Structure 1
Amino acid sequence: MITRLQPRTAPDEIADLRRRIAATRWPDDVGDDWSRGTRPTALRRVLHAWATFDWPAAEARLRAEEHLLVGDPGSRVHLWRTGTPGAPAVVLVHGWPDSFLRFRGVATHLADLDVIVPSIPGFGYSDAPGPDEGGPRWNAERLLTALTEIGVERFAVHGGDLGAAIVDQLALLAPDRVTGLHLTDVPLWRVADDDHLSAEEQAWADAAEAWERSEGAYGAQQRTKPQTLAAGLTDSPAGLASWYLEKFQAWGEGDVFDRIPLDLILENLSLHWFTRTAGRAVRVYFDRRRFPPVGGRVTVPTAFGLFPYDIDHGVESFARRWYPTVRFTRFPSGGHFGAMEHPALLADDLRAFLADV
């Protein structure tokens, strides 16, 4: 079943958000920096702007685009389709704490291709996995079914963060359909299956472990007790904005507002707020722990485009051992949300890779 998405939030829902923002109970101020978490002045700036953000105008833009719900009710996958019908297809898969909106700018630079941007199940307009479903492999299978239903048989894929694991599994599931695999990180989870790490590769794994100890509390919470967190993210605009904003700041270089357009941050917050999916979105970490990616060497031609201020930087030798790597690029700037920060840079690298394969 394929239906056209026509999002339209009721005015009283928007009024309710504004009332909640106005009634925010602010925590005590212990210093205006990011060292203890979200900077107070940054959060106030976001909430002040969110209170007057024109979400109906954003929804009107969505209605003017091709947004599809594919599948039966309860298991639908949202797909944003843009670009040029009949051109080579490329599928772009986002991560957390963002959404399909991550690729707004990238899609503009790939307008001559058939661009398909799904919402990961549980995020935004996609239905959530059931209690015994989820994980990168399951998400890849659900996406593969949706692509088949809209008539897309062969396609390239791109992903970063959670999306990297999903498109990795897509390449393993359907190597005859995936024409190329483009990633913005070298999947660290494969280290557990590799007994022959070089000194450089071991240092990379050790650095990731050290980062997890100092910065990974959010992930531990989301992997183990996501429903506890879900209550605050669903009920409090300040709680949702604070949880997301700290990651937008921490996983890049410099001030977040210099890197990511404020309207894009607000649109992403609004999407998760009005669809009431922020709690479901964090559950993807819990599902990934229960249903980890399936191993095995990828056979699809692969490219890596790594941003220097991302969470980790990857090692080329490791990438080449697990993937038939035809391109390995280290960008001069950008962080975890490079698709938002430097959409043209990412699009150019992806286009060059597609030309190679």
Structure 2
Amino acid sequence: MTAVSPFRIAVPDAVLDDLKSRLRNTRWPEAELVGDWSQGAPLKWIKDICTYWAEQYDWRNREALLNRFAQFTTEIDGLGIHFIHTRSPHKEAMPLIITHGWPGSVVEFHKVIGPLVDPVAHGGNAADAFHVVCPSLPGFGFSAKPTTTGWGVDRIARVWAVLMDRLGYARYGAQGGDWGSAVTTALGALDGDHCAGIHITLAMATRPNVEGKPTAEEARALEGIKHYADWDSGYSKQQATRPQTLGYALTDSPSGQAAWILEKYWAWTDCNGHPENIFTRDELLDNVMLYWVTASAASSARLYWESFGPKRRTAHTVKVPTGVAVFPKEIVTPVRKWMEASYANIAHWSEMPKGGHFAAFEQPDLFVKEVRDYFRKIR
């Protein structure tokens, strides 16, 4: 099957009614015993968010906003793939596939698609235009859920290569963060004949290579590695080892699903201590909704099992030009020296002034400028 079919988000009223009922009947735990986030997402904030979600959040309005970009589905390797595909009005535009991660979704890119596709309408130059493709990872959002094992990073990258070919793009660029960085890396390694270059914001697969006293860049990354291992990686271990067990709780409880996701928007963003310093409640809930309405807690978590479980993913050497943006509040900031063994052609390196893990979502203007600056070098 090679058909590409139009798609619009249209959540049934029954799903929304059920959501509100569950939110109104949440069985809450007692409050944390500390005055900060060190025991997890604070009860008061999660209750406030869930009350807003049940009583004020207007999904139909948000749904319309999410539908403003053309969306499609197509079957590749036996699985239905959902994607945004917005073509530029500028005929010389470069095709660009952008990939999200966990706990993100295509919602992350809604503030950057317009400027990337039509730079002239946003104060830019037509020479920087892109045809933008934003797929939902298998098991995430409106993509289908794999019914067999084996859907790891490399398989997803091969599917993305087929997708770009199916859309008629013989030469393209790729960008990604979180799991999107891993998929983008694999895409650059596996489809180098067509992928002209990649741009990433995270390089967790690279290993520290410290000789003597760490440089300031290395010390920053080592501090991030230690903090992640000591305080921030429990979610990953659970999803890598027992995603099914976790799925029962998160699929049944919207407050649980929200807390599981929103804690990471506190931990991984450059938000000065609170997610609502950088995102609106509607933006945060738009992303949570893509997990809730598709019941994809378990299926999205399985990417960790596929990657960190019994079968580890393959290490790649990327020969195509690679661009890297280092956002200061990234989980572990990339280190150029550590990356050079796996990325043979680092053609662009940028230290960003602010921002964290969800770069396009947090700092859309900086993200757009960075993507334009890098891909201008390889058009």
Where 1:49 maps in the other structure, the secondary structure is helix
Cα deviations by residue, 1:188-214 (Å, 9 ceiling, x for unpaired)? 3232xx8x6534387645851552132
- 2-structure distance, mates of 1:165, 1:285: 12
1:353 maps onto 2:370 in alignment: no
Cα deviations by residue, 1:132-186 (Å, 9 ceiling, x for unpaired)? 221110111112112222222211111111111101000011111111110112x
1:105 maps onto 2:111 in alignment: yes
1:128 to 138, 145, 167: 145
Cα deviations by residue, 1:34-75 (Å, 9 ceiling, x for unpaired)? 121001222122112211322122333344431010116950
What is the CA distance between 1:17 and its match in structure 2? 0.5
1:333 to 346, 354, 358: 354
- TM-score, with normalisation over the residues of structure 1? 0.93
1:114 alignment partner in structure 2: 131
Query: Contact (CA 8 Å) 2:323, 2:348: kept in 1 or not?
Result: yes
- 1-structure distance, mates of 2:64, 2:78: 25
2:28 alignment partner in structure 1: 26
- 1-structure distance, mates of 2:224, 2:330: 13
Q: How many residues are aligned here?
A: 353
1:68 to 68, 72, 88: 72
- TM-score, with normalisation over the residues of structure 2? 0.88
Query: Contact (CA 8 Å) 2:188, 2:195: kept in 1 or not?
Result: yes
1:94 alignment partner in structure 2: 100
What is the CA distance between 1:346 and its match in structure 2? 1.0
Instruction: Name the structure where helix makes up a greater proportion of residues.
Output: 1
2:9 to 7, 12, 20: 7
- 1-structure distance, mates of 2:36, 2:231: 17
TM-align CA RMSD:
2.0
1:17 maps onto 2:19 in alignment: yes
Where in structure 1 are there 5+ consecutive unaligned residues? none
Q: 1:263 to 1:319 in 2, by over 3 A?
A: same
Where 1:304 maps in the other structure, the secondary structure is strand
- 2-structure distance, mates of 1:282, 1:296: 23
Where 1:105 maps in the other structure, the secondary structure is coil
- 2-structure distance, mates of 1:283, 1:243: 15
Give the ranges of 4+ consecutive aligned residues of structure 1 lying more than 6 Å apart after TM superposition: none
Q: 1:64 to 1:107 in 2, by over 3 A?
A: closer
Query: Contact (CA 8 Å) 1:21, 1:237: kept in 2 or not?
Result: yes
- 1-structure distance, mates of 2:115, 2:68: 19
- 2-structure distance, mates of 1:291, 1:138: 13
Query: Contact (CA 8 Å) 1:77, 1:143: kept in 2 or not?
Result: no
Q: 1:84 to 1:247 in 2, by over 3 A?
A: same
2:280 to 249, 261, 276: 261
1:50 alignment partner in structure 2: 53
What is the CA distance between 1:272 and its match in structure 2? 1.1
- 2-structure distance, mates of 1:44, 1:217: 23
2:297 alignment partner in structure 1: 278
Code of the aligned partner of 2:335: V
Tell me the percent identity.
30
Q: 1:340 to 1:232 in 2, by over 3 A?
A: same
1:198 maps onto 2:216 in alignment: no
- 2-structure distance, mates of 1:58, 1:71: 27
